Amino acid sequence: MKTRAVITALIILLALAFSCGREQPSVPDGENNLILYAVETSGVFGGWTAAEGAIIRASSSTHQFAAVYMTGQGGLAVLDDLVAGTYMIQAEVTIEVELEDETELFTFLGQKEMSILYDPQLTDTVFMDLVRPSPLTISEVYYCGCNRSRFYWFDQFIELYNSSPDTIWLDGYLVCRNTNIHDIIEIEAVDYALAYYVHIFPGETGVTRECPIVPGQFLVLACDAIDHTAYGGSWCVDLSGADWEFFNPLGSDYDVPGVPNLLPVSNYSNDFSMNLSHAAVYIATGEEWEYVYHYDEGINDMKEYIHIPLETIVDAVEYASSTESMQYKYITIRLDAGLAGIGMGKYSAQSVQRRALGSVLGLDSNNSTFDFEIASPPSPGWHEIVDGG
């Protein structure tokens, strides 16, 4: 009983802390200097060490703000003139170490969320550890369209990357996209993600071996695997070399011969497509999922959705053109605490791609605000180095 009381008290405290963090700042804009220390805790250099020359990325989830700083002596950075709000802070550094006959790159990363109040000065520390890339990630999402005058956005694609030394078999894996689900479920209170479009790789998870992604491969999943420059103009993407295409035989979708199909498990006639400014896409192992009906206010009727258990989701990316979408997240912060693509315009022929950090591709801190950068042009099947990225 005592334990339960303590747990209840903790939950209430957590709830209070959470709600406080979500409040809009009620104080005037002002200077709050954050004195931030970056400390590397991996033990690679023996014990904890101050991380000098670390890049500090700060971004706010309560207002439009993103800035980059660098730590100096003692691993110290001063973040000047921060207005009250909630901030996500990431520290990263790549250090070259001379070994006997080669140099090795070590990349360290640390993150924290902070609530900054109207207060003259704060001191805090971000702890960093060695980056371990995730074996299978969504490495690029291209959704915004390429030609406004023709409303052309049919050249959308998703790219997957295998950073592991082994071939990964995608048989039975699901590629999912959700829709605006805020009126339907409380996303932070459930242990599944709600999907609207779901397409599947052939075969059975963990049993068949027909759909490989080999080490270092960028696998391209095209909405339609054709050369879109012929229809949308020169800014559009040539997807005739895509590895897979989403194909929906229930609709008027065109099936490109020779490019294998990802078929729908969702019972709609639409082809797989992504909203031009805000959506979440994710991949799951496909070991478990189910059809569930939810009431939909828009049509005043029940509508079929698919529940994907969170523990089967391998990677998720939520993108939006504006930070305001943090108030209306489509996928739980347990899978993606941020948003990719902030500031990207519709029909700008740009994509969001996972950043390379040091020699590490496939970095996945479950926060797309930091993990992704805007890339131009889109790079289906390869990685485009972004200047200063």
Of 41-70, binders to Ca ion (CB under 5 A) are none
- Binding string to Ca ion for residues 235 to 264, with x set by CB under 5 A, is what? ----------xxx-----x-xx--x-x---
Q: Give the strand order in the sheet containing 192-195.
A: 192-195, 301-309, 290-296
CB of 349 to Ca ion, least distance (A): 14
| Least distance from Ca ion to the Cβ atom of residue 222, Å | 7
3-state secondary structure 25-75: CCCCCCCCEEEEEEEECCCCCCCCEECCCCEEEEEECCCCCEEEEECCHHH
> Which of 224, 315, 364, 371 is close enough to bind Ca ion by CB under 5 A?
224
Number of Cβ within a 10 Å radius of residue 6:
10
Task: Out of 40, 140, 243, 336, name the contact with Ca ion by CB under 5 A.
Answer: 140
Reported residue count of the chain is 389
Instruction: Say how far apart CA 13 and CA 388 lie, in whole Å.
Output: 41
Which helix (H) or strand (E) segment is 363 a member of?
A: none
Instruction: Rank residues 87 and 319 by Cβ distance to Ca ion and give the closer one.
Output: 319
Residue range at the interface with Ca ion (CB under 5 A); choices 288-296, 319-327, 337-345, 375-383: 375-383
DSSP string covering 134-169 = -SEEEEEEE-S-SBTTTTB-TT-EEEEEE-SSS-EE
Burial pattern 76-95, b for ≥16 Cβ within 10 A else e, equals ebebeebbbbbbbbbbbbbb
Q: Mark the segment that binds Ca ion (CB under 5 A) among 56-64, 202-210, 268-276, 301-309.
A: 268-276
- Give me the least distance between CB of 383 and Ca ion, in Å please: 5
Q: Is residue 368 part of the contact set for Ca ion (CB under 5 A)?
A: no
Interacting span for Ca ion (CB under 5 A) from 28-36, 95-103, 155-163, 359-367: 155-163
Instruction: Choose the binding region for Ca ion from 106-114, 234-242, 270-278, 326-334 (rule: CB under 5 A).
Output: 270-278
Among 40, 171, 271, 315, binds Ca ion (CB under 5 A): 271
Phi and psi, residue 74, nearest 5°: 75, 10
Give the footprint of Ca ion on this chain (CB under 5 A): 140, 159, 224, 245-247, 253, 255-256, 259, 261, 271, 379
